[in-house]
């Protein structure tokens, strides 16, 4: 629905900064490919990473067109009629050509990916070594062709359905961090 579209940078950045996973899509050998992956945003650039052996990432780094999609599901919308059930969500879709990053930008992107998972973590972990960096491909996408879509609120009902004796409303959905579970294979003194 066109009225759900948002084109302002603030809305798109808020969605991207809350999400942990994006879907990266392209066409590979005539077949559509979609892969969920971790991502990070720095300014107007999204970074994704993966193995240098990935055929998809290789094709993307060579100029294959890409689509990056992020969705946050905020609630299940239950209506009085089957036709008007929906979901409250916030999403961003960006199109373009990804570019491989190298040198200091690659390390900044690695840091952003780790910081996205747990703020402050980069300062506590071992940095990637030369072999690990060589085995990792990081691609960037400048957010020049992007838009958001947002659906909020209650079900949209037919006036005649409002008299039906059926519960209608929204069941909120949230992602929340649980209590950390320690890896007991090493020194546990630092907790996280």
- Bridge partners of 123? none
Q: Is the pLDDT of residue 27 over 90?
A: yes
Residue 3: the pLDDT is: 82
Q: What is the pLDDT of residues 56-92, one digit of tens each?
A: 999 999 999 999 999 999 999 999 999 999 999 999 9
Q: Is residue 143 a part of any domain in this protein?
A: yes
Q: Is residue 28 a part of any domain in this protein?
A: yes
Number of domains, the chain: 1
Please report, for the domain that includes residue 98, its CATH number: 2.30.110.10
Q: Is residue 183 a part of any domain in this protein?
A: no
Side-chain half-sphere exposure of 16, counting CA atoms within 13 A: 27
Question: Tell me, what DSSP letter sits at residue 43?
Answer: T
Q: Is residue 69 a part of any domain in this protein?
A: yes
Q: Is residue 178 a part of any domain in this protein?
A: no
Residue 5: the pLDDT is: 87
Q: Is residue 133 a part of any domain in this protein?
A: yes
Q: Is the pLDDT of residue 191 over 70?
A: no
Q: What is the pLDDT of residues 76-132, one digit of tens each?
A: 999 999 999 999 999 999 999 999 999 999 999 999 999 999 999 999 999 999 999
- Bridge partners of 28? 31
Provide the domain limits for residue 51.
2-152+164-172
Q: Is residue 60 a part of any domain in this protein?
A: yes
């Amino acid at each position: 629905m066109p009225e759900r579209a948002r084109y302002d940078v603030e809305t798109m950045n808020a969605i991207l900064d809350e999400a942990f996973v994006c879907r990266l899509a392209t066409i590979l050998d005539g077949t559509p490919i979609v892969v969920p992956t971790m991502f990070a945003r720095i300014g107007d650039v999204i970074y994704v990473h993966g193995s240098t052996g990935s055929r998809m990432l290789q094709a993307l780094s060579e100029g294959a067109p890409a689509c990056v999609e992020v969705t946050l599901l905020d609630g299940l919308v239950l209506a009085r009629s089957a036709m008007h059930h929906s979901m409250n969500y916030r999403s961003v879709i960006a199109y373009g050509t990804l570019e491989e990053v190298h040198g200091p930008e690659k390390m900044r992107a690695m840091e952003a990916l780790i910081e996205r998972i747990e703020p402050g973590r980069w300062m506590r972990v071992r940095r990637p070594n030369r072999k690990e960096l060589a085995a990792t491909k990081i691609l960037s996408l400048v957010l020049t062709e992007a838009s958001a879509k947002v659906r909020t609120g209650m079900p949209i009902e037919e006036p005649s359905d409002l008299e039906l004796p059926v519960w209608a409303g929204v069941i909120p959905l949230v992602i929340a961090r649980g209590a950390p579970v320690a890896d007991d294979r090493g020194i546990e003194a630092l907790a996280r």
